[in-house]
């Protein structure tokens, strides 16, 4: 697309037709939004920039950038390694500073999550960074949305290689502070930080089989949750190993597919458990 060409996106109320289809909007409370611009799926080629018009008192923020200008023109890097952003548009007071990054929490989150997420985010970020043995190459910006009307469990994470993480939670399980949900929160945060560390530093990702990089994130996330929850040492890992084994055998047996089958490589059939199990065996 030429720089002078323009595409207008009326994305209000739209949801991605597929799990990985962009652009899409996610609500952050009653007055905030997150706009995901990564992997723009349009009839036209990639955009060079996106223009956002915000309310007078709102901010536009992503990564370590923040602006209070009413109209923003955000360049969209189109290289393979930095394909887009997760942009927060909304009230300034929803954005809080962490030790080494920023955080935006949906005010609709249950109280225990509003209190737990900042501490758990810092812990997961520093632990994963130390696990990979080097200082972080990017400053994290974590955004957590909540769907209060959803009954079934939802814990969906997406990342941008610019350091942004978008988590969307929902379901009755998240309403109560239980040990199981504390484990899930720790695992989920660490899982997404592994994706950023692995993709930015090692430059792997979509060209690799899905089970490989998702398996690594699941395995390292489980190690983090094992060492940072109130469960007896090893209980979380043992439970996960049993779950991985059961699910992996089920996929390979019922689907009659090998772990390198194109459907598993392309994420249409989940191979996460097979990958996590493989990393545990190697480790």
Nearest one of 34, 42, 46 to 79, comparing CA atoms: 46
Q: What pLDDT does 154 receive?
A: 92
- The H-or-E segment that residue 241 falls in is helix 235-254
- The H-or-E segment that residue 190 falls in is helix 179-202
Instruction: Please give the chain's pLDDT, 283 residues, in tens.
Output: 444 555 555 444 444 444 456 667 888 988 888 888 764 444 445 566 777 777 777 888 877 677 767 777 776 655 444 456 788 888 888 889 887 789 999 999 999 999 999 999 999 999 998 888 766 657 889 999 999 988 899 998 988 877 889 999 999 999 999 988 998 999 999 999 998 887 666 554 455 666 778 888 888 998 898 888 766 556 777 888 887 788 777 767 665 555 555 555 555 445 678 778 888 888 7
Beta bridge partners of 58: 91
Residue-range domain boundaries for the chain: 24-202, 210-282
* Pairing relationship of beta strands 49-53 and 65-67 according to DSSP bridges: unpaired
Between the alpha carbon of residue 122 and those of residues 29, 100, 162, the distances in Å are 23, 8, 17
Can you give the pTM of this predicted structure? 0.81
């Amino acid at each position: 697309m030429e720089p002078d060409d323009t595409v207008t996106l009326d994305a209000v109320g739209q949801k991605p037709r597929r799990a990985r289809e962009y652009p899409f909007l996610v609500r952050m409370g009653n007055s905030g939004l997150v706009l995901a611009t990564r992997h723009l799926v349009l009839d036209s080629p990639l955009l060079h920039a996106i223009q956002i018009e915000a309310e007078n008192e709102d901010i536009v923020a992503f990564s370590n950038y923040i602006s209070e200008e009413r109209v923003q023109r955000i360049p969209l890097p189109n290289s393979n390694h930095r394909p887009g952003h997760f942009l927060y548009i909304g009230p300034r007071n929803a954005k809080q500073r962490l030790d080494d990054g920023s955080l935006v929490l949906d005010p609709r989150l249950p109280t225990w999550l509003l209190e737990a997420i900042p501490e758990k985010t810092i812990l997961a970020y520093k632990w994963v960074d130390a696990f990979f043995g080097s200082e972080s190459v990017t400053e994290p910006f974590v955004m957590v949305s909540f769907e209060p009307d959803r009954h079934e469990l939802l814990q969906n994470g997406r990342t941008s290689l610019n350091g942004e993480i978008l988590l969307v939670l929902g379901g009755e399980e998240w309403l109560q502070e239980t040990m199981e949900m504390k484990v899930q929160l720790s695992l989920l945060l660490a899982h997404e930080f592994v994706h950023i560390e692995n993709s930015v530093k090692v430059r792997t990702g979509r060209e690799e089989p899905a089970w490989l990089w998702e398996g690594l994130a699941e395995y390292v996330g489980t190690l983090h949750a094992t060492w940072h929850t109130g469960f007896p040492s090893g209980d979380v890992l043992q439970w996960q190993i049993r779950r991985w084994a059961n699910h992996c055998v089920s996929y390979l047996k019922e689907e009659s597919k090998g772990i390198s089958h194109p459907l598993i490589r392309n994420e249409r059939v989940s191979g996460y458990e097979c990958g996590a199990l493989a990393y545990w065996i190697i480790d």
